[in-house]
Amino acid sequence: MSTMALSVHVVATPPSRRELVQALVGWAEAVRHAPGVVHASVSEDVEVEAAFDLRAEWDTEEALEAHLRSDVFGVLVGAAEVLSLSVRVSVARVADEYGMDVIKKRREARWALAQRREEA
């Protein structure tokens, strides 16, 4: 099953950090209850001061489109435009999603291939 993913990276102006955090948390709390939302989170970048990443997934393109037209997203966009130095937004279709079991198998296969090359 494919889902739709929204990613937003925003860097606040230092004096506006607290106000932007309130807007980001408000967005996350509201969007988690929206129809079709699979996951939503906000995290702070530990390497860049006052930088934040928002991530959310919807089960259909229609659910994401509804969110992009919503007042909740409009408030987020307005806050980001006024309170930030930069904003980067991306929307993508997530066609394949791997869990740790698949990651481990792929890493083991890579290790086994490297071993065979060394033996040859």
**pLDDT score for 114:** 66
Residues 94/57, Cβ–Cβ less than 8 Å: yes
Per-position b or e across 65-82, b if 16+ CB within 10 A of its CB: eebeeeebbeebbebbee
pTM, rounded to two decimals: 0.77
pLDDT at 104: 75
Q: Does CATH number 3.90.180.10 belong to domain 3-119?
A: no
Q: In whole angstroms, how large is the CA radius of gyration of the chain?
A: 19
The whole-angstrom separation of Cα 40 and Cα 106 is: 28
pLDDT tens, the chain, 120 aa long? 689 999 999 999 989 999 999 999 999 999 999 999 999 999 999 999 999 999 999 999 999 999 999 999 999 999 999 999 999 999 998 876 666 776 777 777 767 666 777 776
Give the domain ranges of the chain.
3-119
pLDDT of amino acid 112: 66
